[in-house]
Amino acid sequence: MTQVLPKKVLVVGLGLIGASFIRALKCRGVDCVFVGSTRSVQTLQNALDTQLIEEGSNDLSSVSASLGKSDVVLIATPTLSVPAALEKLRPAIERGVIVTDAASVKGSVLDAARHIFAEIPPNLILGHPIAGSEKSGLFAADENLYQGQGVILTPLESSDPGALSMVKWLWELTGATVSTMSVEQHDQVLAATSHLPHVLAYSLVNTLARNKEYREIFKHAAGGFRDFTRIAASDPSMWHDIVLANKTAVLKQMDDFSQGLSELRNAIERDDSDALKAIFSRAKKARDDFSLILADREKR
């Protein structure tokens, strides 16, 4: 089925994710009116001045009232701010405007939608781009942020096929590869592969930073420390929201990791060479398998 471009694409939140979405579509020739909504007066003005958007407002309710059924909305705000955006977009959603989001946790958004609407609107398609950077803000926008990266959509049985197709198509236009899974599976998978690594990186750097000699420690740190802790430079407010929104799954992964770390500590304490080699070898094989998956993904 040939898709027809929406007349307007509204992006709520003009940080890295939302601004990169617009830049990606524009640089790939998508010709529609891009509208931005953000609470920051300065960010909105910067988006207009740089011609990232053609229209914009700090009042999401007024923008919502102007949307037509052929328009599409991406909510690209921090996870815990999505419910407020859904509430302000409620009239547009009830008119049939297609709305999706980019929050890193889907269960909390689904729960909010159930609270706001009597039934989950079929034109509300929850999603999550698996892409990002330790940089943030409008000026960190990158038109290639989603190129070759994954986007997970979590449609329900009641989701409208046309709305799902439109959201999938727009993400594919950014260069992303789109897949679908359940809300529950998404939150469990992301807790293990994204949320836990960020928690560990923050914890390690925070632990070392409490040492009075931490500057001397950091001065002599090698590439492994730099690579592992890079994500600790991510926006603390955003990750505060993510771990609280996905609390149950994150705590489960932290408990599993703590058990594995305890097993490793015991092996070191006992000078158990066989156990150490087994742990390190399993980890290496799993990481080598992951490298093959990455290589295969890049070929597509």
Given a cut of 80, whether residue 299 has pLDDT beyond it is no
Given a cut of 80, whether residue 112 has pLDDT beyond it is yes
Pick the CATH number of 8-181 from 3.40.50.740, 3.40.718.10, 3.30.230.10, 3.40.50.720: 3.40.50.720
Query: 187-269 adopts what CATH topology?
Result: 6-phosphogluconate dehydrogenase C-terminal fold (1.10.3660)
- Please give the order of strands across the beta sheet that includes 127-130: 127-130, 150-153, 177-180
Q: For the chain, how are helix, strand and coil distributed in percent, rounded to 5?
A: 60, 10, 30
**Residue 239: per-residue pLDDT:** 92
Per-residue pLDDT tens for 266-289?
999 999 999 999 999 999 999 999
CA-based nearest residue to 86, from 124, 50, 119 = 124
Percent of the chain with pLDDT over 90: 81
CA-based nearest residue to 108, from 200, 190, 40, 166 = 190
Give me the residue spans of the domains in the chain. Answer: 8-181, 187-269
Per-residue pLDDT tens for 144-169?
999 989 999 999 999 999 999 999 99
Q: Could you tell me the two tokens for 208?
A: 């070392």
